[in-house]
Amino acid sequence: MGTDSREGYQRTAFKHWNAGTQPADGCNARAEVLISEAVDAPEIGPGCQPKGGRRWSN
């Protein structure tokens, strides 16, 4: 596995994350992708925050 380059990335530039496919579950689009793309499933914390797990990185 390689390391990700975050050069030039600013999370604050992406203020448009939507409420996800089921707004009532508290998972926004970012969390849904992190969960669905996981190789090893993460625990889901309060506010639908993925904790742990493992994902492939390009």
DSSP characters over 38-54:
EEEPPEE-GGG-EES-E
Asked whether residue 49 is assigned to any structural domain, the reply reads yes
Give the pLDDT of residue 17.
Answer: 65
Asked whether residue 50 is assigned to any structural domain, the reply reads yes
Enclosing domain of residue 39: 15-55
Asked whether residue 30 is assigned to any structural domain, the reply reads yes
Q: Measured on CA atoms in the order 49, 53, 20, 17, is the torsion positive or negative?
A: positive
41-45, Cβ contacts within 8 angstroms, sequence gap of 24 or more:
none
Q: Work out the percent of the chain whose per-residue pLDDT is above 90.
A: 7
Give the pLDDT of residue 46.
Answer: 87
Q: How many structural domains is the chain composed of?
A: 1
Give pLDDT tens digits for 7-32.
888 877 876 667 788 878 888 888 88
Asked whether residue 6 is assigned to any structural domain, the reply reads no
Asked whether residue 10 is assigned to any structural domain, the reply reads no
Give the pLDDT of residue 43.
Answer: 92
Give the pLDDT of residue 21.
Answer: 82
Task: Report the C-alpha dihedral over residues 37, 42, 54, 56, rounded to 10 degrees.
Answer: 10
How far, rounded to the nearest angstrom, does the alpha carbon of residue 1 sit from its chain's CA centroid?
18
Give the pLDDT of residue 40.
Answer: 93
